[in-house]
Amino acid sequence: MTNSWTDIKNTDLVIVMGGNAAEAHPCGFKWVTEAKHHRGAKLIVVDPRFTRTASVSDYYAPIRPGTDIAFLMGLIRYMIENDRVQWEYVKAFTNASFLVKEEFGWSDGLFTGYDEEKRDYDKSSWDYQIGPDGYMLTDPTLQHPRCVWNLLKAHVDVYTPEMVERITGTPQDRFLKIAEMIGECSSPTKTMTSMYALGWTQHSKGAQNIRGMAMLQLILGNIGVPGGGMNALRGHSNIQGLTDLGLMSNLIPGYLNIPTEKEPDWATYMKSRAFKPLLPGQTSYWQNYPKFMVSFMKSMWGEAAQKDNDWAYHYLPKLDVPAYDMLRMFELMDQGRVNLYFCQGFNPLLALANRNKNTSALSKLKMLVVMDPLETETARFWENHGAYNDVDTASIQTEVIQLPTSCFAEDEGALVNSGRWLQWHWKASDMPGQAKYDTWIMAQIFLRVRELYRKEGGAFPDPILNLTWDYADEHEPSPDELAREMNGRALADVYDLADKTKLLTAAGRQVKSFAELRDDGTTASGCWIYSGSYNEDGNNMARRDNSDPSGMGVYSNWTWSWPLNRRTLYNRASADLQGQPWDPSRPIIAWNGERWEGNDIPDISPTAKPGEVMPFIMNQEGVSRLFSRGMMRDGPFPTHMEPFESPVQNVFNDRMRGNPVARVFASDVEKMGTSDEFPFVATSYRLTEHFHYWTKHNKVNATLQPEFFVEISEQLAAEKGIERGGRVRVWSKRGEVWAKALVTKRIKPMICDGKTVHVVGIPLHWGFVGAAKKGWGPNSLTPFVGDANIETPEFKAFLVNIEPAVGEAVS
Amino acid sequence: MTIAPNMDSPRTATANPPTHPVPPNLGQAHVVRSSAGGPVAENPQPLTEVAKLIDVSKCIGCKACQSACIEWNDTQPEVGVNVGVYENPHDLTPEMFTLMRFTEYDNPDTGDFEWLIRKDGCMHCAEPGCLKACPAPGAIVQYSNGIVDFIHENCIGCGYCVSGCPFNIPRISQKTHVAQKCTLCSDRVAVGQGPACAKACPTHAITFGTKEDMTALAAERVEDLKSRGYDNAGLYDPAGVGGTHVMYVLHHNDKPQIYDGLPEDPKISDVVRNWKGPAKPVGIAAVGLAAIGAAAMALFHRGNSVSQEDEAEARELVQEELRGAPVERPHDKGSA
């Protein structure tokens, strides 16, 4: 989230698209009802199904799964055509005026530079024109034909309301009504918030869906302002913490990068991270990258990381591929190239695309270790459960070790919510049976591995032997110690960079914030963005003061928010070029003539003059990007792409299947279905009664939603002879499931490109262990392909067939 | 909403939940009505009239209320099956005192589709039909704050309360042979805590407080709904039962029946209302027979001494009554 849950109460319009907040985030959704009740806010829902969120909406429109980009580009076109643009914001705070290279263009659904062989773009033309002084060429009047604004205008021109309806199936009148409601938020005193979740990410072009809305929000002037923003609703209570801490194969804590093979040494690695400002006088905050990186290396390896050994850069692994994402790991596993797999708090048998492939892959491991507080299907993948898990147990040689861990109520620590709040919690109960803390388990493994290296040596023992491990009890690092480590501390006295006589923090003390981190080895910090969470003031995450003097839902003294306890990112953009709030009735920060002040921590240097330094300091440009240069693999603007499995062809290019640059493994291509065999569009989702595959263990949750079902329209039911509550078989090119049929008016057939499209809704939550009835997850059916940029599997749009079934599945 | 210095009941209307310990109440000293001549307090201590307000327009149907109800009351509803609807369990049961009921509604006036979700359960009527119908002394009581409570040690499991209820709420346990329904968490309210469902409700669709405050809050909500085009939005607090201590904010208050059969004008049957004298239970039993037939018969587990003759006599009387005004039953329609 750019903003916070509590800030949603400040909005005038909520759009839930690419998510189902009431259903999947019911507690956070209270802030929507708050905005509706006390601000008169309106709620729009765009979704293939009339969801529980739609049930309390002011306006709803259906959309065919996987066509959000067309809808969003249609909205941008409407805003431009009808002058629903917050001009002052767009001109000053976005790259609308920047000139783009002459060679850049778009035709037949593709941008310039496409190489069909490589399934990749040569992105060299997707960039700005740079002047002789090394800065951007711009045209502040927005007249130049090569300026971003005019290119955007041309790019979205094709997305007329007619075209939107043709692609998305959303009736034009519904689309136009929504466009009109959204258009009102181009006023500086009216704000829209976007709430989205996996309905946007789980597509082969998920990142572009989100960009589409972010661009719309910039055009409306809604980023950085109270009640606005791009608000990703995170699906687990600590999934934000997971990404913050870099639990991805290509990340280091705090969104730093694991080096690649092309960056064999420190100098090369740092060269591409210089982040020189692209406009004069702008702040490019990532210029501090070396401070965060060196502090991380010091945190990891202490004395072994020194300037003369490039901070032990050679200890870091170097990626030979962009990332070892889940899809790649299971592909490698399926090829028999993975021996041991640690599965910590994850149930991939049901959570990863194409279950049959998952089973096959897990069966090829030598050993699988599952760390989880609950019994998972993954830990039991080898066990035959009849139709629910029809495996030949005797043929599976994988050794499975289950290590029971604590659950959230049995341990202490911080959970990071969607709004980036690190909320400390305390243990409420002891762990049952033989369960152990994850940290204890990891410590035991580490200590034993280190011992082996000590005794036996090995190919490269140094990173293991020299790892900092100075916890009071080496067998059990405490949450308190780990939190302090992430915050970071001074290894030597830290002085003010502007005044070298001014001592900021003495050696051995916790740094106040990342502003005190240094690139000379005098500071250590495990995760720079968490710096400030646990300083000499104490554990700020444990704060529980819920006062809100401004009444704006800021709650500055409730726990702690990264970065720097800032509650709204880019909040400098909430004020105009003179530094005064766009909406005087909703001020968060303002320029008082000398400094930025207000209810929130300013997202800019407190003394940066409003007309000079632009708000988007994490970008080299200092402004936000309507045109994202070569930063995304599939285009600098979002362009409509069909899902890999689609009932219709791409209207721009009938040769194009899915995202033209998404990675598809050879073995998965043949497992892609077509609409002649699989005529119906399926989409997956959560239900309020359950949380993923956890709560089916709980009898109360199981009572409230006991049995796997699929949802279909009355029309499809009639066409197929399916009765309400009857049993159906649903199958795709990859597998099949049996379910109860929930026949509903909430799903209606749509007409897309002249063709009737039926949607089959497939909730998750059922498996073969737990208190609920045995069932299946959608992943028995879903394709093994992910987003082109971040590899999130395409769970939200794929093809299936359906027929009535008789009898009960045998187990 | 102000908090009175001497509060005698919790207020959860503005925040979930400000728990204020209060001296425990809702004992015999607060009983203002008791079934079949059961004991009432001579000078009942007056308590502030309370109400639970269910704002249907804020309800997302998440079933947190059902979950909280199961947990607090420690009931054991079964893990059932899916029969093609969102209601689980499929009806109120002796183990499930509240239930989200989902209605798919094509609004003929707007042409729009609506998914109406209503939390069903005891309405805690000011004039409770169950209490009037109950033949067991002291099995059903009403406290001075309006809560209608079943006192299980006095309950004989006869099922008359079922027939007396215009909302079809009580359910008779086949295991314990007593009637069960929502208590409005009288055990929580008595010590200053709001009902479990209100505490659990994530969107504040369920609020609890004084009836006065809840009525005022409802007016605010109705105004908001009218501004959104729901011209017939209103507060459901039906006069036919003297008003209720569970009230709904409905977007379509002119058509409560579209919310899965919420009665338009609920009343206590005249048989129940007017029956006097020693044959009262019999007559009411016959209402039950007329209305739910064998189901009520099956409930006679505790050896009620209702003779065949009495029943026959009552049946005749009831037939007479029914000829005049058919007994309305809200949940007779088949679809869920």
- Confidence band for A72, pLDDT divided at 50, 70 and 90: very high
pLDDT digit string, tens, across residues A309-335: 999 999 999 999 999 999 999 999 999
Is residue A46 included in any domain, yes or no?
A: yes
The reply to whether B7 falls in a domain is no
CATH code of residue B172: 3.30.70.20
At which of B258, B288, B311 does a domain end? B258
User: Is the pLDDT confidence value at A184 over 70?
Assistant: yes
- Residue A281 CA neighbour count, 13 Å, CB half: 8
Question: What's the confidence (pLDDT) of residue B333?
Answer: 37
- Name the residue among A689, A617, A793, A636 with its Cα closest to residue A110: A636
pTM: 0.94
As a whole number, mean pLDDT of residues A295-307 equals 98
For residue A771, give the nearest of B79, B88, B112 by CB distance. Answer: B79
Among A199, A216, A235, where does a domain finish? A235
Number of domains forming the structure of chain B: 2
- CB contacts under 8 A, A 721-760 vs B, are 723-726, 740-746
Q: Assess A564–B contact: CB distance below 8 Å, yes or no.
A: no
Distance from C-alpha of B80 to C-alpha of B68, rounded to nearest angstrom:
18
What domain range is A782 assigned to?
Answer: 666-805
Q: Are A6 and A193 within 8 A, CB to CB?
A: no
3-state DSSP assignment of residue A318:
coil
Report pLDDT for B1. Answer: 39
Pick from B64, B116, B117: which is nearest to A26 by CB?
B64
Q: Which of A235, A267, A282 is the last residue of a domain?
A: A235
**B192 and B277 fall within a common domain:** no
**Does A599 map to a domain?**
no
Q: Give A51's pLDDT tier (boundaries 50, 70, 90).
A: very high
Is residue A222 a contact partner of residue A189, using CB atoms and an 8 Å limit? no
Which H or E run contains A174?
helix A172-183
| A309: contact with B, CB 8 A cutoff | no
B231 in the same domain as B285: no
- Whether A473 has a pLDDT exceeding 60, the answer reads yes
| Nearest CA-CA partner of A165 in A152, A154, A155, A178 | A178
Mean pLDDT calculated for residue range A731-758: 98
Q: Which residues of A touch B71 (CB under 8 A)?
A: 700
Among A513, A424, B216, B225, residue whose Cα is nearest residue B237: B216
**Is B331 inside any structural domain?**
no
CB contact under 8 A, B60 and A22: yes
B7-66 pLDDT, tens digit per residue, is 888 876 444 455 567 888 999 999 999 999 999 999 999 999 999 999 999 999 999 999
| Contact assignment for B62 to A726 by CB distance below 8 Å | no
Euclidean distance between CA atoms B305 and B61, whole angstroms: 44
Q: Do B60 and A29 lie within an 8 Å CB cutoff?
A: yes
**Structural domain includes residue B335:** no
Is the pLDDT score of A755 beyond 70?
Answer: yes
- Average pLDDT (B268-293) is 60
- Look at residue A52 and tell me if it is in a domain: yes
Q: Is A715 an 8 Å CB contact of chain B?
A: no
CB contact under 8 A, A745 and B203: no
Among A72-76, A195-199, A245-249, the minimum mean pLDDT is found in A245-249
Beta-strand ranges (E) seen in A554-602 are 560-561, 589-591, 596-598
Partner residue opposite A52 with nearest CB, options B61, B89, B112:
B61
CA distance B153 to chain A (A): 27
Q: How confident is the model at residue A199 (pLDDT cuts 50, 70, 90)?
A: very high
Question: In this complex, is the C-beta atom of A688 within 8 Å of any C-beta atom belonging to chain B?
Answer: yes
What mean pLDDT do residues A433-437 have?
96
Residue of A20, A25, A33 for testing the chain B interface, max B β-carbons within 10 Å: A33
CA distance A25 to chain B (A): 10
pLDDT digits (tens, 9 = 90+) for A564-589: 999 999 999 999 999 999 999 999 99
β-partners of residue A372 are A404
pLDDT at B315: 52
User: With an 8 Å Cβ cutoff, are B113 and A746 in contact?
Assistant: yes
Question: In this complex, do B228 and A706 lie within 8 Å of one another by their Cβ atoms?
Answer: no
Provide the shortest C-alpha distance from residue B318 to chain A (in Å): 38
Taking the CA atoms of chain A, what radius of gyration do you get in angstroms? 26
Same domain assignment for residues B247 and B190: yes
Q: Does residue B93 fall inside a structural domain?
A: yes
Whole-number Å distance between alpha carbons of A443 and A446: 5
Q: Quote the tokens at residue A691.
A: 């949380």
Is residue B19, in this structure, part of any structural domain at all? no
What's the pLDDT score for residue B299?
Answer: 40
Across B146-168, average pLDDT: 96
Looking at B207, B232, B258, the residue that finishes a domain is: B258
Put simply, the answer to whether A706 touches B83 (Cβ < 8 Å) is: no
Decide if A448 contacts A437 (C-beta within 8 A): no
Phi, psi (rounded to 5 degrees) for A279: -130, 145
On whether residue B31 sits in a domain, the answer given is: no
One domain, residues B66 and B160:
no
In this prediction, residue B326 carries a pLDDT of 39
The strand ranges marked E within A289-348 are 340-344
Amino acid (one-letter) located at A437: Y
When the pLDDT of each residue in chain A is averaged and rounded to a whole number, the result is: 97
- Whether A77 is in a domain gets the answer yes
Predicted pLDDT of residue B282:
56
Q: What is the pLDDT of residue A811?
A: 42
Who among B61, B84, B113 is closest to A725 (CB)? Answer: B84
The span from the CA of A6 to the CA of A231, in Å, is 12
Q: Give me B199's structure tokens.
A: 């505490």
- Contact assignment for B84 to A704 by CB distance below 8 Å: no
Residues in chain B within 8 Å Cβ distance of A29: 60, 202-203
Show which of A190, A209, A235 is a domain's final residue. A235
Burial (CB count within 10 angstroms: exposed 0-12, middle 13-18, buried 19+), residue A455: exposed
State the smallest CA–CA distance between residue B58 and chain A in angstroms.
6
At A34-45, the pLDDT tens digits run 999 999 999 999
Least confident of A454-463, A483-492, B116-125, B188-197: B188-197
Asked whether residue B67 is assigned to any structural domain, the reply reads yes
Higher pLDDT, A259 or B289: A259
Instruction: Name the residue facing B204 among A30, A56, A688 (closest C-beta).
Output: A30
Q: In this structure, are B165 and B194 located in the same domain?
A: no
Q: How many CB pairs under 8 A join A and B?
A: 124
Query: What integer pLDDT is reported at residue B8 of this predicted model?
Result: 85
- Among B218, B236, B258, the domain-final residue is B258
Tell me which residues of chain B have a C-beta less than 8 Å from any C-beta of chain A. 57-64, 66-67, 70-71, 77-86, 88-89, 104, 106, 112-117, 202-205, 220-221, 224, 227-228
Q: At what angle do helices A326-334 and A355-363 cross, to 10 degrees?
A: 60
> How much of chain A, in percent, has pLDDT values that exceed 90?
98
Query: What local confidence, expressed as pLDDT, does residue A65 receive?
Result: 98
Tell whether A38 lies on the interface with B, counting CB pairs under 8 A: no
Query: What is the per-residue pLDDT for B138?
Result: 97
Task: State the CATH number of the domain containing residue A687.
Answer: 2.40.40.20
- Residue at B247 is within a domain: yes
For residue B316, give its domain range: 129-181+269-323
Query: For chain A, how many structural domains are there in total?
Result: 2
Beta strands in A506-618 (DSSP E): 523-524, 534-535, 538-539, 560-561, 589-591, 596-598
A637/A74 Cα distance (integer angstroms):
13
A40–B227 CB contact, under 8 Å: yes
For A22, the closest chain B residue by CA position comes to B60
Task: Sort out which chain B residues have CB atoms less than 8 A from A700's CB and list them.
Answer: 67, 70-71
Task: Name residue A389's amino acid.
Answer: N
Q: What are phi and psi of A510, to 5 degrees?
A: -70, 135
Residue in A711, A647, A695 with CA at minimum distance from that of residue A675: A647
DSSP alpha helix (H) spans, chain B: 64-73, 129-133, 160-164, 186-189, 196-200, 211-227, 270-274, 280-292, 294-297, 308-324
Say whether both B188 and B253 belong to one domain: yes
Nearest CA in chain B to A702: B79
On whether both B317 and B194 belong to a single domain, the answer is: no
Q: What would the pLDDT profile of A361-384 be if each residue is shown by its tens digit?
A: 999 999 999 999 999 999 999 999
Q: Mind listing the pLDDT tens digit for each residue in A482-502?
A: 999 999 999 999 999 999 999
Whether B86 and B173 share a structural domain: no
Determine the residue of chain A that is closest to B98 in CA distance.
A704
As beta bridge partners, residue A147 has A99
Taking an 8 Å cut-off on Cβ atoms, the answer to whether B117 and A746 are in contact is no
Q: What token pair was written down for A496? A: 């003010």
**Cα A355 to Cα A719: distance, rounded to the nearest angstrom:** 29
pLDDT score, position A808: 61
Both B193 and B62 in one domain: the answer is: yes
